[in-house]
Amino acid sequence: EAQVTQNPRYLITVTGKKLTVTCSQNMNHEYMSWYRQDPGLGLRQIYYSMNVEVTDKGDVPEGYKVSRKEKRNFPLILESPSPNQTSLYFCASSGGVSYNEQFFGPGTRLTVL
């Protein structure tokens, strides 16, 4: 089944404790992206990657890092999480004949205390 997976789905952590949210897609898509969803703000892009080793900032990159060492994986790293990063995070991918349609993962709900 074609899909985007994220882990963990739920995470509660404390300020300053480094964490990584993994994202993987099995559709051989070139493009991957991370968004955060906050009430009343819709989805805002954090980082995106056009291909392996190619990443760029989105609209709200502060406090986040990403890497794209393999085509299928695009982890999101919070080196020193803060309470304002409490949010719902989505990974998405697109490519091939569906390059203009993004496929979304199920989301990761992060709480930073």
Which phi and psi angles does 82 have, rounded to 5°? -130, 160
Establish if 99 lies at the interface with other proteins (CB under 8 A): yes
Which listed residue (7, 20, 22, 45) binds other proteins by CB under 8 A?
Answer: 45
Q: Is residue 25 a contact point for other proteins (CB under 8 A)?
A: no
E strands within the chain?
A: 4-7, 10-13, 19-25, 31-38, 42-51, 54-57, 65-66, 76-78, 87-95, 98-104, 108-112
User: Minimal distance in Å, beta carbon 80 to other proteins?
Assistant: 27
How many Å apart are CA 66 and CA 52, to the nearest integer?
12
Instruction: Using CB under 8 A, count the residues that bind other proteins.
Output: 24
Q: Which is nearer to other proteins, 36 or 64 (CB)?
A: 36
Residues that bind other proteins (CB under 8 A): 4, 31, 33, 35, 40-45, 48, 50, 56, 90, 92, 94, 99-102, 104-107
